[in-house]
Structure formats: structure tokens, C-alpha cells
Amino acid sequence: MTLLITGASGFVGLNIVEAALARGEDVVALSIDALPSPALGAFAGLPGRLHLAQGDVLDEALIAGLFQRHRPDRVVPAAALTPGAGYERRDAGRTLMVNVVGVVRLLEMAARHGVQRVVYPSSGSVYGTNAFGPAPLDEVSTAPMPESIYAISKLAAERAALRFRAIAGLDVVAARLGTVFGPWERNTGVRETLSPQWQIMGLLDAGREVVLPTPGRRDWIYARDVAAAILALLDRPAVASPVINIAPGREWTIADWCAALARRTKSFRWRFAAEGEAANVDYWTARDRSPMSNARLVSEMGFTPAFGMDSALDDFLAWRARVGAV
């Protein structure tokens, strides 16, 4: 059995590659740039076999060659551009090509080669303007209302992927990822704003005080849980719901994270911004989004995310001690 992952050098992609290799799988990792050397070093000690491929997900000849050589039976189209508001206008066309057309071409190839399961990493950003109500965000009852080019592209690709279930009999599941943080996140240039946790660790490394704008409440999900959930979706013989939230089912704040980090690291300093003072951590949005329901993930998949805030922080600090800041 062989797993093809596109966008393998990205944040989520690297975590999926690592988790699959850790359980002994053959993994074909396609990325536009080389995997970072710390990741290659870490992956070399895992029992699975890693096949590296470098190139553009829009290169049809490249994709066709990968299917012909490796015959993947499962596919995770994780390649994506995530421009923020500052780059949307400039990068909109390229974003739509990679995030939508790139996925559709991969789906066409997967259907042609009889792939058993495709798990498409969608995003909780598709809920858009409907993400701030009193109820948890539900895959069925909460209508997607994306605003950004990125969110629009993720919903478009999600719907296209699900359409292939009907027109090609392709077994596709769309996994709407919550707000991810953790190992292998790095500044690749395709994500305008990285997670607050990544920003905070960078400020700690630089010996600077962290200044938060607000507590920053969110149902943050650890990258290792995301990778484990995607592998669970790849494994399950039948999935009742074609769209499933990947969310932790619990909330905490960035202020909680800072307080926990301060208890573990004596040199770490943090506080809230004074009135009129600029914070040095960006939350992407001024409002706290409603949590994403993970009821289907738990009840239908039997999967419960393993990491709470404290266990994630401990694991993250241990990972940084082994690998260093990437």
C-alpha cells in the first residue's frame, strides 16, 4: 500500500508524512520545494519508506508519472497556498489554480487509477461569516460562507472533490481542519500569518517579551492529532459523512498557553497590550471564532484527539529540543 501526499513540505503535509512513515507505510511525498533537512533527518529513522518528488502540483506530466511509477492506493491532496489579506489580490489567480485546479487534476488521476480513498484537507475557514454564532460549527447545520480567497478556494475544491464521488465513484472524504499548531510549522512564504503559538516561540527564541492583544480563545488543534485523524480517515473502510470536522472538542486561550509556557520556561515573559499599544502576536481576526463540533469525528470515526493544551505544550517543547526551531 502506498500513500501519495502533495504539499508534503508544508506544515500539515510534513506531519502526515511523519505519522505515515512512523507506522511503516510507503509514502510518496510531492512538494514544490525540498523537505527541510531536519525533517529528512527525523524521518530517516522511521520504519516506512519515503519516496521524494519535487515539482508543481499543476504539472500534469509529473503527476501522471508518479501514479504510473508508484501506483498509490490512497491520496491526500495537501498542497495549498494560504495568502492572507495582504497578498490576496496579488496571489488570487495562483491561489485558485493550486488550491482548486491542482486538486481537480489530482482527483481525475486518482479516479483513472482506481485509488481506494482520497482524504482532502479542507479548512474550517469555509464557515466564514457564519463562524461567530452561539452554537458549535456543524458540518451540516452550519452553512459555509467563506470570505477570503483562500477560504473560497477550499470550499470550491471540497465541493469538486465530493462531486467526484458521484461522477467517478471516487471514495472522497473532506476533512475540515480546525486551527492547527505544532511541529514542523515554519515560514515557507505561502502562509502570510503563522499560528500564534509559532509567533510566540519565535519571540521567546529572540529573548523578547510577548504582548498579546486579547486572551485569544479558540479550539486549537495540535498537528499530531490532525495527522492521526487523517490517517484514521484513510484507514476506515466506509465513512458515513463525506465532510468531517477535525477539531479537538475543547477550547483554551493563547493567554492560557503563555501562562503554561511561563511555568515551564523561566526566561519567558508575556503580558497583554496596554490601551493604545500594539501587540506583537497576530490572531488573524479580532473576533474569537465559535468552536467546531467534532461529534461526527468521535461518534462515526471513533477518533478522539489525544492532545490537550498541556500535553501539546510538553510534546512541542520536547520536539523543539530534539529538532530545534525549523
Q: Per-10-residue mean pLDDT for the chain, 326 residues long? A: 96 98 98 96 97 97 97 97 80 93 97 96 97 96 96 97 94 97 86 87 97 97 98 93 97 98 97 97 90 97 96 97 77
Rounded (10°) angle between helices 196-205 and 254-264: 30
Closest by CA to 230, choosing from 10, 239, 111, 187, is 239
Look up the CATH number of domain 2-182+222-249+292-305: 3.40.50.720
State the pLDDT at residue 287. 87
pTM: 0.96
Residue 297 CA, distance from chain mean position: 16
Furthest-apart CA pair in the chain: how many Å?
60
Alpha-carbon distances, residue 208 vs 95, 213, 273 (angstroms): 34, 16, 14
State the pLDDT at residue 123. 97
Alpha carbons 223 and 246: distance in angstroms, whole number: 11
Name the β-bridge partners of 159.
none
State the pLDDT at residue 83. 83
Region label for 173, one of left (φ > 0), alpha (ψ between -120 and 50) or beta (otherwise) = beta
State the pLDDT at residue 52. 98
State the pLDDT at residue 254. 98
Instruction: Give the residue carrying C-alpha cell 516506512.
Output: 48
Domain ranges of the chain: 2-182+222-249+292-305
